[in-house]
Structure 1
């Protein structure tokens, strides 16, 4: 099908969806500011200038309405607002704030659209704007998709600038001076004679001044915080062990619960005998819950111990019983009936691969299920009093979690208050609300008593919503030192359908996550086709750090490396010839310079390069490995990425390093396998990850050449596995096409 015809059809489908959803009719509602949720419970000596700022006698509080999972998003968002408001960085306080659709995340919808990040056409821009509208109407207050900074870059700066304008007006009212002669710095208005009026002292005047809707923003040359190395908010508490996570929650009279569910995910209970557990020491209550049972005791350990005493007959799994059968289902999905998308189809692939004398290179790649496995297991504290439910928990989708809690407790949604706490990791796991609903269900059975519900590590590992398993089949042809044809087919269950189904949201059209990190790469190949096949859902799956690109980076770049090797081409120079996107070219050039690409390596070493564009961010990585008597050792790694604007250099560097480590560690040894319908890995001893002694020396470089602002939490994950695989091939001659690599090679 011609490219123009495909675009026209896509335009019609998107336009129809918008009209059917009422978005075109309701656009005026999108541009109308929502009510300020901070006005509820505001003290008489306090003022809120907009949904992102509270003034109180004790100082200024900034609402950064994205989850604190260790990724530094709250601090970076606060930096954007503080820049425009001229706040004293040392004294301002940062909190998550209440759940509210005012804090919708419009940038989070971009990854689901069938437009590549490099597509700047009118149609693509219109679709992204429509996604913003949809996110507001859906109340999509979400942390994920590396979208916090792209979504907040303008919002937070405008909020800060609007608050500053109000305070200048307040100072003008108090002094009789014109706002134009006043300045701001360090959370104060500065009068012409140097007198400082603290922002918090201007609360009486500021309370009655409406903020401007479109305040002017500082030019980049005037920035004093953005792009500077400052101490990240919250890092001291996290570094000293004084941070209060959900699992640390303590309330007077609290009881402690745990939940056990059917290890056959999604299945129910045939029979429960809770008598032994109910008679155990310290146990207050044993009760059935959806899919399993809960034990409430006077401490968490006793709840864990009593839970082992329950005799239960679990219903069987409805999906294939073991990993071999699951992969067979994936392998059987490469059929026209299960074709989900073909978002890239350029040139005549079949003609190129069947041309006389053409030597076709074929390969099959595999990736396993993977767990999120955050250090802090799932937990939530719930307290039902006088028909109202209060919840304290780490959560990435607070509005949906509050709704799930209301349903579980059998109360109206407006009777639920959710306090979002810092999290000891998530990697996508806390996009789910199952554990919050469980806490609410138990609390509803014990009204008036606060209940802290905590999963055991084993429950957390065996009841994860994993990253999907997947397979890819590649066919290609090379000639004249380059790739002439590439046909890549990818089969995986739909993360989007599984996850949206649990949230009660529709999942329409193709799932771009199945082919993300493959179809949207800015490469010029004469005959190029990327096809996605949807595997029927087996075990429920969910978003995992970098989602579909986490496997497709390996599939796509792994096969690209095979073809370039067959063509006798240099991996860096060949990619530079193929690349069609200027920022992507820059990151490849940067990583080549950083790693001294082309320089000789010591004997026994191998070097691999990979590139992936995901979440709008082009990332190139080089990995060096060495063969030793103890096994393969990863010696050095180089990472270059383009973010458009680097808001927080310290956090950016940490996320670049962390993404690489995450990708390397899972590629090396991690997998989730099934036997008899249940997950086999129960703790970290059976789910190996990169150890400190295995971590390479890491060099990073963040570029600012693109025309849009991007996040960096996920994009450095996808290139790690293929770069490592390419390095291992050059060191050992072994071509790795299946993760984890430890199935085929030994690591030191």
Structure 2
């Protein structure tokens, strides 16, 4: 059991503010907690029980500030609070809450410092704690990096527990009872005689009390919800087509908008002629935007058509116009002048390689679009001294700040209505759609403007996954891997992404080597070097970020060296592995897949491993070489997140990550010609087709000492496992994605 004093020693504390007719508790790091945003404009008779619990006479609302893009974030946050508050998920409503520093992400510091996630030393833990200070100071309310669960695991349970115990104290005072004689169940305090006192009836009294401090978090064996299969709170609405997304927004007097931006992303607009577009049916106004134009009309289709009718003089791209220039820039970055980091340098790699290397290879990973199914959209209403924004976003405070800067209206009067997102994969870490919608809404004050990107505008003006290149060499001896040297060149994701938010990206970019330098292997001579390539096409975080390409680079180089040594791919990984949870997932996936068992002719089995976001994930892919091409037969996956909070959602996220990783490795890339992205829709960016989807078996382990998220870790090892399996089946090594450039898939 984890008591309050234990939590306090880990820099958590309880803060409170009493109000007439209600009560406010907060669970925060540090001695000065941010203000509880729920206290602003609190309805009469309502109580704000921590920044995460709002109770009125009619309902109990749990605040779930991490964005839900389909990964189940709302449900898991609600369950963490509900577990300790003693309410059931069918009793509550959920709300994302307002943008607020109170909802800063306490887990972001884990990947912000150059320590391996397996490093629990005093120095590593202290540095992570120190890094939390600027994150809190900036109030970084961000959803990403598979941090929703580690961010909320202690914080949200403690918020529920503090509210629960204070409500019990309120009931004890009202009824003249000893608080120890009271229990809670399904949103009510239960008196010794069995009388149920709903939480709603206790808020006014609780507001007069100091918050409870002697609270104890329940042990996992006492959990009612967590750790057991749960029905997500959005399952009914999504199953019946009644879930509201940004694309569903409708308001009285709403007008619709489309944009047309320079096909060479980031290039200027030298001038335009909208005379033909302005004559078209339903067109209300054509508005210049940074790098393009927007059209406001009475429906979306007419706006789309009118945008295409505008004649525009475009400037050139601020990056190489053709793909050869991008690859050349990467290749020229493997120099000391471009070295960004070398966090891993064990033994004497140069001396070992001077004796003669056994392998020297180059790998490539292309740009990739996020390509969510929900068309990117935002609705903005600019009023007198107030702005309302309806959109799905992973960065609500950045959106609030940027809208305030554009409109000149104070941020506190910019109201962000965060909505369910129909897929993101990192796309909604950008806010360009909101900025453009705000500019359009400023041209028509008092009228809600709903901007929807066409699929083509979204695909060609996405901020894609980084392009990357790796060069590896190594040496083997006595049937074992002795020397491993991997250099990785890519532009800085953080500099590109944070630059659009006006924030500096100081120091090395850890994403350049994420999923490579931090792998849990003991190799005698082991070096991973990151090289920062110059800025090319603008890029952003894509599901698993740097590890999405580096998991492929690192594991395939290791597999090639193991093959050169004549060793078994799984046995040699296990011999090298120096991290118990990672060994366990490798052993588990070997057992699941019957590794070493007989295969039919023209079949192959490949193993892939990557530790990313603190989660070791191992996969075995089985393929068959058929006359129609490579068929992926089965995939086995093992991962360890420390504690599985919802086994059903865990399995779904793992399977989805595998499909996402395999599909993009097989078939997807974004390429540039004349400065413009060539892939405009799913016909040229197909991913995995339904008939190509293999059987996927999942096993979750719980031996790691920290709680982690699972949204991203299944992606990085997928491409490596597939490539290694194809080699096992055909003898052909694939060192560049997409693989469909070199083999056919059945």
Q: What is the TM-score of this pair, normalised by structure 2?
A: 0.95
SS in structure 2 at match of 1:401:
helix
Please state how far the C-alpha of 1:465 moved relative to its aligned partner: 0.4
Q: How do residues 155-174 of structure 1 correspond to structure 2 at under 5 angstroms?
A: 155-174=155-174
Contact 1:409 1:443 in 2 (8 A): no
What is aligned with 2:20?
none
What is aligned with 1:426?
424
- How many angstroms apart in 2 are the aligned matches of 1:456 and 1:484? 52
SS in structure 1 at match of 2:390:
strand
Contact 2:481 2:562 in 1 (8 A): yes
Contact 1:406 1:440 in 2 (8 A): no
**Alpha-carbon deviations, 1:111-165, whole Å to 9, x = none?**
2311100111111101111222221101100000000100110110110001101
Contact 1:484 1:526 in 2 (8 A): yes
What is aligned with 2:307?
307
Are the structure 2 counterparts of residues 210 and 390 from structure 1 closer, same or farther at C-alpha, using a change threshold of 3 Å? farther
- How many angstroms apart in 1 are the aligned matches of 2:638 and 2:76? 20
SS in structure 1 at match of 2:294:
strand
**Alpha-carbon deviations, 1:70-120, whole Å to 9, x = none?**
001121111111111111222211221111010000212322311100111
Q: How do residues 101-180 of structure 1 correspond to structure 2 at under 5 angstroms?
A: 101-180=101-180
What is aligned with 2:698?
700
Please state how far the C-alpha of 1:205 moved relative to its aligned partner: 1.7
What is aligned with 1:274?
274
Are the structure 2 counterparts of residues 299 and 210 from structure 1 closer, same or farther at C-alpha, using a change threshold of 3 Å? farther
Q: How do residues 160-309 of structure 1 correspond to structure 2 at under 5 angstroms?
A: 160-212=160-212, 215-309=215-309
Contact 1:405 1:441 in 2 (8 A): no
Contact 2:112 2:131 in 1 (8 A): no
- How many angstroms apart in 2 are the aligned matches of 1:213 and 1:67? 30
Q: What is the aligned counterpart of 1:712 among 710, 725, 735?
A: 710
SS in structure 2 at match of 1:308:
helix
What is aligned with 2:100?
100
What is aligned with 2:593?
595
- How many angstroms apart in 1 are the aligned matches of 2:64 and 2:211? 19
What is aligned with 2:404?
406
Are the structure 2 counterparts of residues 450 and 214 from structure 1 closer, same or farther at C-alpha, using a change threshold of 3 Å? farther
SS in structure 2 at match of 1:522:
coil
Are the structure 2 counterparts of residues 210 and 304 from structure 1 closer, same or farther at C-alpha, using a change threshold of 3 Å? farther
- How many angstroms apart in 1 are the aligned matches of 2:260 and 2:213? 50
Contact 1:490 1:533 in 2 (8 A): yes
Q: How do residues 604-683 of structure 1 correspond to structure 2 at under 5 angstroms?
A: 604-683=602-681
SS in structure 1 at match of 2:94:
strand
What is aligned with 2:562?
564
Please state how far the C-alpha of 1:209 moved relative to its aligned partner: 3.0
Q: What is the aligned counterpart of 1:555 among 545, 553, 556?
A: 553
What is aligned with 1:19?
none
Please state how far the C-alpha of 1:172 moved relative to its aligned partner: 0.8
Q: What is the aligned counterpart of 1:491 among 489, 499, 503?
A: 489
What is aligned with 1:17?
none
Please state how far the C-alpha of 1:30 moved relative to its aligned partner: 3.5
- How many angstroms apart in 2 are the aligned matches of 1:115 and 1:34? 29
- How many angstroms apart in 2 are the aligned matches of 1:296 and 1:523? 57
Please state how far the C-alpha of 1:59 moved relative to its aligned partner: 2.1
SS in structure 2 at match of 1:294:
strand
What is aligned with 1:6?
none
Q: What is the aligned counterpart of 2:689 among 683, 691, 707?
A: 691
- How many angstroms apart in 1 are the aligned matches of 2:109 and 2:274? 45
SS in structure 2 at match of 1:719:
helix
What is aligned with 2:333?
333
Please state how far the C-alpha of 1:214 moved relative to its aligned partner: 6.8
- How many angstroms apart in 2 are the aligned matches of 1:639 and 1:236? 29
**Alpha-carbon deviations, 1:368-393, whole Å to 9, x = none?**
00000000121100001112100000
Q: How do residues 355-374 of structure 1 correspond to structure 2 at under 5 angstroms?
A: 355=355, 358-374=356-372
Please state how far the C-alpha of 1:246 moved relative to its aligned partner: 0.2
Contact 2:109 2:129 in 1 (8 A): no
What is aligned with 2:727?
729
What is aligned with 1:70?
70
**Alpha-carbon deviations, 1:665-705, whole Å to 9, x = none?**
00000000000001000111110110111111000011100
**Alpha-carbon deviations, 1:171-206, whole Å to 9, x = none?**
112211111100011111111111111112223222
Q: How do residues 464-483 of structure 1 correspond to structure 2 at under 5 angstroms?
A: 464-483=462-481
Contact 1:277 1:310 in 2 (8 A): yes
- How many angstroms apart in 2 are the aligned matches of 1:212 and 1:684? 54
Q: What is the aligned counterpart of 2:737 among 733, 736, 739?
A: 739
Please state how far the C-alpha of 1:213 moved relative to its aligned partner: 5.5
Contact 1:49 1:206 in 2 (8 A): no
- How many angstroms apart in 2 are the aligned matches of 1:41 and 1:267? 44
**Alpha-carbon deviations, 1:547-570, whole Å to 9, x = none?**
000000000001111010111111
Please state how far the C-alpha of 1:582 moved relative to its aligned partner: 0.6
Contact 1:49 1:211 in 2 (8 A): no
**Alpha-carbon deviations, 1:341-376, whole Å to 9, x = none?**
000000000111112xx4431110000000000001
Q: How do residues 571-590 of structure 1 correspond to structure 2 at under 5 angstroms?
A: 571-590=569-588
- How many angstroms apart in 2 are the aligned matches of 1:215 and 1:429? 40
- How many angstroms apart in 2 are the aligned matches of 1:68 and 1:732? 41
**Alpha-carbon deviations, 1:507-548, whole Å to 9, x = none?**
111111001000000100000100000001011110000000
Q: Which segments of 5 or more consecutive residues in structure 2 lack a partner in the other structure?
A: 1-27
Contact 1:518 1:530 in 2 (8 A): yes
Please state how far the C-alpha of 1:629 moved relative to its aligned partner: 1.9
Contact 1:669 1:740 in 2 (8 A): yes
Q: Which segments of 5 or more consecutive residues in structure 1 lack a partner in the other structure?
A: 1-27
- How many angstroms apart in 2 are the aligned matches of 1:250 and 1:210? 44
- How many angstroms apart in 2 are the aligned matches of 1:641 and 1:722? 16
What is aligned with 1:16?
none
- What's the RMSD between the two structures over aligned residues? 1.2
- How many angstroms apart in 2 are the aligned matches of 1:474 and 1:197? 67
**Alpha-carbon deviations, 1:428-478, whole Å to 9, x = none?**
010011111111111111011111111100000000001110000001001
Q: Greater CA deviation, 258-267 or 447-456?
A: 258-267
Contact 1:631 1:746 in 2 (8 A): yes
Are the structure 2 counterparts of residues 331 and 464 from structure 1 closer, same or farther at C-alpha, using a change threshold of 3 Å? same
What is aligned with 2:511?
513
- How many angstroms apart in 2 are the aligned matches of 1:415 and 1:96? 18
1:39 paired with 2:52, answer no
Q: What is the TM-score of this pair, normalised by structure 1?
A: 0.95
Q: What is the aligned counterpart of 1:446 among 441, 444, 447?
A: 444
What is aligned with 1:15?
none
1:459 paired with 2:457, answer yes
- How many angstroms apart in 1 are the aligned matches of 2:605 and 2:293? 51
- How many angstroms apart in 2 are the aligned matches of 1:421 and 1:328? 42
Contact 1:360 1:476 in 2 (8 A): yes
- How many angstroms apart in 1 are the aligned matches of 2:624 and 2:52? 51
Contact 1:227 1:648 in 2 (8 A): yes
Contact 1:663 1:721 in 2 (8 A): yes
